[in-house]
């Protein structure tokens, strides 16, 4: 039986959002602002953080979708492979790694975040704005991973098979319009 008896076992995110649309429009606008809007972090870096948080949480749906988006936004494939291999905190071999370590710790043990963690981010050359955006992406994907897992969605995300140019053009709000939950 499906988590939601009014929906069948092949539940996907679009069908879930269509069934329960009340809060989805502002959520999709927030996705666009946070993941596609202005930031000290590139779109690919934000999508990588979304994918990494999803990997840490074991959310295969979101990891698949956002690793695909990160790849389309110029994140090298070997970075995704390092995350899959369990080496996420050193996945990039560069200045993004302290941000990844920060969001992993924030996901797994949020009450243990301290000055040492933020200092590692700043020492790598990131601004407060970059750290705030990383924290915000982390929070959003901890939320989204709970929605996906709580609903029992366990099928490949639709972007997984899309061409790179189409993935790069993904707007969360436009997708919401296509499924009828955004005006």
Instruction: Calculate the CA dihedral of residues 30, 122, 63, 25 and round it to 10 degrees.
Output: 0
Is there a domain that residue 7 lies in?
A: no
Q: Which residue carries 């797994």 as its tokens?
A: 108
Domain that holds residue 148: 13-179
87 Cβ neighbours under 8 A, 6+ residues apart: none
Query: Two tokens at 96?
Result: 């993004």
Instruction: Give the Cα separation of 106 and 134 in Å (integer).
Output: 10
pLDDT tens by residue, 117-145: 999 999 999 999 999 999 999 999 999 99
Tell me what the pLDDT averaged over the chain comes to: 93
Is there a domain that residue 56 lies in?
A: yes
Query: Minimal CA–CA distance to 24: which of 34, 14, 9?
Result: 14
161 Cβ neighbours under 8 A, 6+ residues apart: none
Instruction: Give the Cα separation of 52 and 96 in Å (integer).
Output: 12
The number of angstroms, rounded, from the C-alpha of 40 to the middle of its chain's C-alpha atoms is: 17
Buried b (16+ CB within 10 A) or exposed e, 67-106: bbbbbbbebeeebbebbeeeebbebbeeebbbbbbbbbbb
Is there a domain that residue 124 lies in?
A: yes
pTM value > 0.85: yes
> Does 89 have pLDDT greater than 90?
no
pLDDT tens by residue, 13-63: 999 999 999 999 999 999 999 999 999 999 999 999 999 999 999 999 999
Is there a domain that residue 5 lies in?
A: no
Is there a domain that residue 35 lies in?
A: yes
Is there a domain that residue 84 lies in?
A: yes
pLDDT for res 44: 97
DSSP calls for 8-55: -TT--HHHHHHHS-TTHHHHHHHHHHHHHSS-SS-HHHHHHHHHHHHH
pLDDT for res 1: 56
Is there a domain that residue 50 lies in?
A: yes
Instruction: Give the Cα separation of 103 and 136 in Å (integer).
Output: 10
> Does 93 have pLDDT greater than 90?
no
Domain total in the chain? 1
Is there a domain that residue 117 lies in?
A: yes
CATH code for the domain in which residue 127 is found = 1.20.1290.10
């Amino acid at each position: 039986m499906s988590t939601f008896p009014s929906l069948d076992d092949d539940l996907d995110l679009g069908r879930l959002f269509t069934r329960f649309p009340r809060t989805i429009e502002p959520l999709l606008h927030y996705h666009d602002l946070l993941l596609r809007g202005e930031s000290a972090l590139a779109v690919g870096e934000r999508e990588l953080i979304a994918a990494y948080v999803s990997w840490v949480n074991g959310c295969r749906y979101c990891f698949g979708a956002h690793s695909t988006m990160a790849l389309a936004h110029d994140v090298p494939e070997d970075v995704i492979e390092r995350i899959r291999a369990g080496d996420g905190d050193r996945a990039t071999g560069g200045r993004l790694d302290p941000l990844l370590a920060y969001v992993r710790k924030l996901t797994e043990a949020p009450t243990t975040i301290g000055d040492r963690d933020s200092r590692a981010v700043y020492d790598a050359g990131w601004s407060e704005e970059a750290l705030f955006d990383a924290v915000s992406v982390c929070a959003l994907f901890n939320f989204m991973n709970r929605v996906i897992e709580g609903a029992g969605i366990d099928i490949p995300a639709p972007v997984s098979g899309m061409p790179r140019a189409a993935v790069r053009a993904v707007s969360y709000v436009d997708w919401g319009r296509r499924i009828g939950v955004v005006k």
